[in-house]
């Protein structure tokens, strides 16, 4: 997507905002920000260890059904079965809403993605995925914050946003970032006048974290208030549904469409720790995937032509055991899948170095082995969307594999 | 990973401590004041620090009480909560019927909504319909009780420890049947063991259906076991892993994947009697793996039955890694986000010396120089729960624990009893300090001070004098410290801006009390403790 094209779209959306009653002051600032790259990276973290072998089941792998007598999905072609992707892989039927993206080539799948130096603890695995330094717990900041510290682009209250109540570890660090449950709740009583006294109080705070957080907060409040961001309706007839992830992605779409300079958005979805009663075509996992698929599909629809400026990466902390456990569920494993959607993705294919489920191919004879380090996928998208050039400060000591999906 | 050297280094200790019989008869706390180190603070400053850490912040009455007893006397009193009359709070909790019911009674009286609906459409009379209530009532009453106790209980340390240990052994009301088990869990597994031996607490948690369900152990059986109605089952590692990582040794505590599996085998058969109906602990001998196991290098012989699990708990409770892991978490909760290794070591040694007597560890912790250091004072950011309750207490208020408070907590990032991961809520400041949460805190303070929080009432300090004097009086009551010149000027300017129209010749300007107090509650100073 050329820059002039995205700039034109940007001006259109700014015009739409003006019609909704945004102040001229906001418009002036937005116009002045025309030098922005206009690209956005969105990261969706599935917390709990999502089962890649059910999300993108290797229905063509001869071991698959044997390892998962009750969890294996029906092969493509059977009623309600998995949706064919290629000779080996299929998509979970609850994600069928993503097939238009697969067909248009803006959905790519990395199978057997995992973090080298595996740990099966949720806490540690998430920590390492977020710090970007597996095995090293002393890392204070998150990899996305290190990337943002090096990303070109004008300052702005909404450069990096987490749509969740607490700031995720991957965004912790010196680069400013805003966390909020939702745009509609991000306001103070009394409007901008009510904000100024607190602004002054926090400017004097002794505690550095509170002081800098205060500065970020009040700038973002002013901007969100003057732009009436929370009221922007979905475009192109997008239907988000009611799942929490859908509402968060809708807010991210609002930030993208209103041109406030969003470069990075992070959000999360829980409930993937399927030890018991995981389900196959229907059930616990299928329900989660239905919510995920609908939210992502609506997000894509809502963005229209801006979709080319946005890239979404969906990841989890680890995959689950190749063999189902005694409770029709799966235990903590190693590699899983990553979904990469949006602009610049050479999609419509499953990549990643999947080595199969034969006993000898499994990691420690129990888990899908890692074919691609998650950092390679993350780096590729961060470089493309944030304009960061050197991977070494972002992922110290790691050399990314080039061109996974880009 | 260098797990092996660690294991061999601790192996000897394990033999000594691990195989001993259950540790600890808790020592009755001394009624005498504890020897608190001398500090260069005023008596009020000492009392405020103590109440900020061992209580949910200073209330006017508790502050006076600490000043009367002295810090050492107050700590001693708090370490023996049973001796404190708490009947005022107990009477308030009488209006919540779910708090005393068993899981079986809760399932029967607050059934799943489908059953409730079915009952409402079967055409029976109104009284019968009214007997069915929604299960969400259980959670609402539990939240309300926690908020009321935190705000008004005289046993403030006990309430602080409920927060700490529930969080350490977290279960989430959002996971299936836990909803009917979570209230009994706090009442039966957590509250009775806060001041006793860690082994008793660990055992009560391990046996409790809420934990067995939350971490799936109820469904874990020996490989190849076939259950009558549920078909072929097998091993589930979830509880075993979190038991080692989060409840006892800590993630670097020196265990391997093989230990996780062996511990899981030891706990096979620890189940729940009719989880959808009865919900009490039950050991299923047929589901138990009767083979021998090897945990942390210790042989657990074949045929031990339910005792396999008890042996594992003995071993873990006595393990030096557990002592250090718990010591660090306690120091983090009560002293500083990054406590000194020396403090952690000292607490761990006290834990090992007393075989896990928690009261002995608390006593050491609250009388260390680090607890009473300048560096510790005001250094911790309040969690949303601490912030919310301390705001009500600062204004001498009370709460009925209405849903409005719960909604505020959710916006700040802490929906009580619903932390989904087994790690519970974070104790350190960083995850709580962010713009969205800050907005929610400021909003809460303004609504509380202006009386717009249903079910919660506060008394604003009397502010009828000049603006300057009012600001100083309100700051003393809420923050317990003098304002900086800059903050004072900011507050005066903010108040001046809001009531320009109300000034008449010769009449004293009246300060907007709710706004002033709201500003103080939302100020950076009040976010710290």
pLDDT, one tens digit per residue, over A141-156 is 899 999 999 999 887 8
pLDDT at position A227 is 80
Helix B384-394 to helix B136-152 angle, to the nearest 10 degrees?
50
In terms of DSSP bridges, do strands B293-295 and B298-300 run parallel, antiparallel, or are they unpaired? antiparallel
- pLDDT value for B293: 98
Residues 377-396 in B contacting A (C-alpha not used; CB under 8 Å): 381
Residues of chain B found within 8 Å of residue A185, distances taken between Cβ atoms: 411, 436, 439-440
CATH 3.40.50 given to domain A40-184+240-394: no
Q: How far apart are the first and last CA of chain B?
A: 38
- Shortest Cα distance, chain A CAs vs residue B65, angstroms: 30
- Interchain CB contact of B471 with A (< 8 Å): no
Q: Is A208 on the interface with B (CB under 8 A)?
A: no
Name the residue among A180, A209, A221 with its Cβ closest to that of B433.
A209
Dump pLDDT digits (tens) for B296-335. 999 999 999 999 999 999 999 999 999 999 999 999 999 9
Contacts (Cβ under 8 Å, ≥6 apart) of A208: none
Verify whether the Cβ–Cβ distance B494 to A200 is below 8 Å. Answer: yes
Domain-by-domain residue ranges, chain B? 467-527
Cβ B434–A196 below 8 Å, yes or no?
no
Residue ranges in chain A modelled with pLDDT below 50: 1-36
Q: Read off φ and ψ for residue A336, nearest 5 degrees.
A: -135, -155
Instruction: Output the pLDDT for position A26.
Output: 36
Closest by CA to B182, choosing from B87, B64, B90, B101, is B101
pLDDT at residue A15, rounded to an integer? 34
**DSSP-derived secondary structure for A105-139:** T-EEEEEEEE-SS----HHHHHHHHHHS-TT-TT-
Q: Which residues pair with B228 in a beta bridge?
A: none
Contact B419, B383 (CB under 8 A): no
List, as ranges, residues 437-466 from B with C-beta within 8 Å of A.
437-440, 442-443, 446-447
What per-residue confidence (pLDDT) applies to A298? 98
Give how far Cα A305 sits from Cα of A37, A239, A308, B356, Å.
15, 17, 6, 63
Please state, in angstroms and as integers, the Cα–Cα distance from residue B474 to each residue in A99, B185, B479, B488, following that order: 61, 41, 8, 11
CB contact under 8 A, B423 and A123: yes
Res B500: pLDDT? 46
**Number of cross-chain residue pairs from A and B with Cβ atoms under 8 Å apart:** 168
Taking alpha carbons only, the member of A136, A57, A38 closest to residue A95 is A57
B176, B433, B436: best mutation site toward chain A, by most A Cβ within 10 Å?
A: B436
Chain B segment 235-264 residues within 8 A of A by beta carbon are 235-238, 241, 245-246, 251, 257, 260
Q: Nearest-CA neighbor of A144 among A356, A302, A374?
A: A374
Return residues 364-383 of A near B (CB < 8 Å). Answer: 364
A4 touches chain B (CB under 8 A): no
Q: What pLDDT is recorded for position A400?
A: 94
What is the pLDDT, as a whole number, of residue B516?
Answer: 93
Give me the residue from B251, B490, B528 closest to A200, CB to CB.
B490
Nearest residue in chain B measured CA to CA from A49: B421
Q: What residue ranges of chain B have pLDDT lower than 50?
A: 1-30, 116, 119-129, 498-506
Angle between helices B43-54 and B71-78 (to 10 degrees): 20
pLDDT of residue B111: 86
Chain A residues in contact with B254 (beta carbon < 8 A) = none
Mean per-residue pLDDT over chain B, rounded: 88
Rg (CA), chain B: 26
Q: Which residues of A touch B487 (CB under 8 A)?
A: 201, 204
Q: Is the full-model pTM beyond 0.95? A: no
CA distance A272 to A114: 16
Determine, for residues A197 and B491 on separate chains, whether the beta-carbon distance falls below 8 Å. Answer: yes
pLDDT (0 to 100) of residue A127: 86
């Amino acid at each position: 997507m050329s820059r002039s094209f995205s700039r034109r779209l940007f001006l259109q959306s700014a015009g739409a905002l003006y019609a909704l009653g945004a102040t001229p002051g906001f418009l002036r600032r937005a116009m002045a920000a025309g030098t922005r790259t206009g690209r956005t990276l969105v990261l969706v973290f599935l917390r709990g260890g999502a089962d890649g072998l059910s999300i993108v089941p290797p229905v063509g792998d001869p071991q698959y059904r044997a390892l998962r007598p009750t969890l294996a999905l029906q092969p493509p072609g059977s009623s309600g079965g998995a949706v064919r992707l290629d000779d080996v892989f299929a998509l979970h039927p609850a994600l069928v809403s993503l097939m238009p993206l697969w067909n248009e080539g803006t959905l790519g799948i990395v199978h057997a993605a995992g973090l080298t130096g595996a740990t099966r603890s949720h806490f540690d695995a998430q920590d390492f995925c977020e710090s970007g330094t597996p095995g090293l717990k002393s890392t204070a900041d998150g990899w996305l914050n290190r990337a943002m510290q090096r990303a070109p682009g004008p300052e702005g209250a909404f450069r990096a946003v987490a749509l969740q109540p607490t700031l995720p570890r991957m965004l912790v660090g010196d680069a400013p970032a805003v966390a909020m449950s939702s745009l509609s709740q991000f306001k103070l009583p009394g409007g901008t006048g009510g904000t100024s006294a607190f602004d002054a109080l926090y400017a004097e705070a002794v505690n550095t974290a509170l002081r800098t957080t205060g500065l970020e907060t009040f700038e973002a409040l002013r901007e969100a208030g003057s732009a009436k961001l929370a009221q922007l309706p979905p475009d192109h007839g997008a239907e988000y549904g009611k799942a929490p992830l859908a509402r968060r992605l809708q807010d991210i779409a609002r930030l993208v469409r209103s041109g406030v300079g969003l470069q990075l958005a992070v959000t999360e979805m829980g409930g993937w720790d399927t030890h018991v009663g995981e389900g196959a075509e229907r059930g616990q996992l299928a329900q989660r995937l239905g919510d995920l698929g609908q939210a992502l599909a609506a997000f894509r629809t809502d963005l229209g032509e801006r979709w080319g400026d946005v890239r979404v990466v969906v990841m989890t902390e680890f995959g689950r055991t190749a063999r189902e456990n005694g409770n029709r569920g799966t235990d903590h494993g190693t590699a899983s899948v990553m979904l990469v959607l949006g602009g610049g993705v050479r999609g419509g294919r499953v990549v990643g170095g999947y080595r199969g489920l034969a006993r000898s191919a499994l990691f420690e004879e129990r888990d899908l082995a890692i074919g691609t380090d998650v950092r390679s996928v993350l780096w590729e998208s961060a470089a493309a969307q944030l304009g960061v050039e050197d991977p070494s400060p972002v992922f110290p000591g790691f050399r990314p594999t080039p061109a996974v999906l880009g | 990973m260098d797990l092996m050297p660690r294991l061999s280094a601790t192996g000897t200790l394990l033999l000594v401590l691990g195989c001993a019989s259950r540790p600890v008869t808790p020592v009755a706390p001394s009624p005498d004041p504890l020897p608190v180190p001398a500090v260069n603070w005023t008596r009020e400053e000492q009392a405020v620090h103590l109440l900020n850490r061992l209580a949910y912040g200073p209330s006017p009455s508790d502050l006076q009480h600490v000043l009367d007893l002295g810090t050492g006397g107050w700590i001693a009193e708090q370490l023996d909560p049973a001796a404190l009359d708490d009947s005022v709070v107990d009477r308030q909790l009488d209006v919540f019927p779910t708090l005393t019911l068993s899981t079986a009674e809760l399932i029967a009286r607050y059934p799943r909504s489908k059953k409730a609906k079915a009952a409402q459409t079967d055409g029976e009379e109104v009284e019968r319909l009214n007997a069915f209530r929604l299960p969400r009532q259980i959670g609402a009453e539990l939240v309300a009780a926690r908020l009321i106790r935190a705000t008004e209980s005289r046993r403030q340390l006990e309430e602080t420890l409920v927060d700490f240990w529930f969080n350490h052994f977290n279960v989430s009301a959002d996971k299936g049947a836990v909803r009917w088990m979570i209230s009994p869990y706090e009442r039966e597994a957590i509250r009775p063991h806060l001041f006793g031996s860690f082994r008793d607490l660990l055992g009560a948690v391990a046996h409790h259906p809420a934990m067995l369900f939350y971490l799936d152990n109820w469904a874990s059986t020996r490989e190849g076991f076939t259950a009558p109605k549920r078909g072929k089952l097998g091993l589930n590692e979830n509880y075993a892993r979190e038991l080692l990582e989060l409840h006892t040794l800590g993630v670097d505590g020196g265990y391997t994947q093989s230990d996780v599996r062996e511990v899981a085998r030891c706990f096979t058969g620890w189940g729940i009697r009719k989880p959808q109906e009865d919900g009490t602990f039950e050991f299923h001998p047929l589901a138990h793996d009767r083979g021998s196991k090897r945990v942390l290098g210790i042989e657990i012989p074949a045929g031990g039955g339910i005792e396999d699990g008890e042996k594992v708990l003995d071993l873990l409770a006595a393990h030096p890694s557990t002592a250090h892991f718990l010591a660090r978490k306690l120091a983090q909760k009560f002293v500083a986000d990054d406590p000194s290794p020396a403090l952690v070591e000292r607490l761990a040694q006290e834990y090992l010396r007393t075989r896990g007597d928690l009261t002995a560890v608390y006593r050491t912790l609250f009388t260390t120089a680090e607890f009473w250091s300048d560096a510790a004072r005001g250094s911790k950011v309040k969690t949303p729960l601490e912030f919310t309750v301390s705001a009500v207490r600062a204004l001498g208020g009370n709460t009925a624990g209405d849903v409005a408070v719960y909604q505020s907590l959710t916006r700040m990032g802490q929906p009580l009893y619903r932390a989904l991961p087994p790690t519970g809520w974070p104790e350190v400041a960083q995850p709580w300090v962010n713009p969205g949460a800050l907005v929610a805190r400021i909003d809460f303070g303004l609504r509380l001070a202006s009386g717009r929080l249903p079910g919660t009432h506060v008394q604003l300090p009397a502010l009828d004098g000049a603006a300057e004097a009012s600001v100083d009086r309100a700051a003393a009551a809420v923050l317990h410290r003098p304002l900086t010149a800059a903050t004072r000027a900011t507050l005066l300017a903010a108040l001046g801006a809001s009531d320009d129209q109300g000034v008449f010749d010769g009449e004293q300007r009246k300060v907007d009390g709710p706004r002033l107090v709201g500003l103080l509650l939302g100020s950076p100073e009040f976010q710290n403790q």
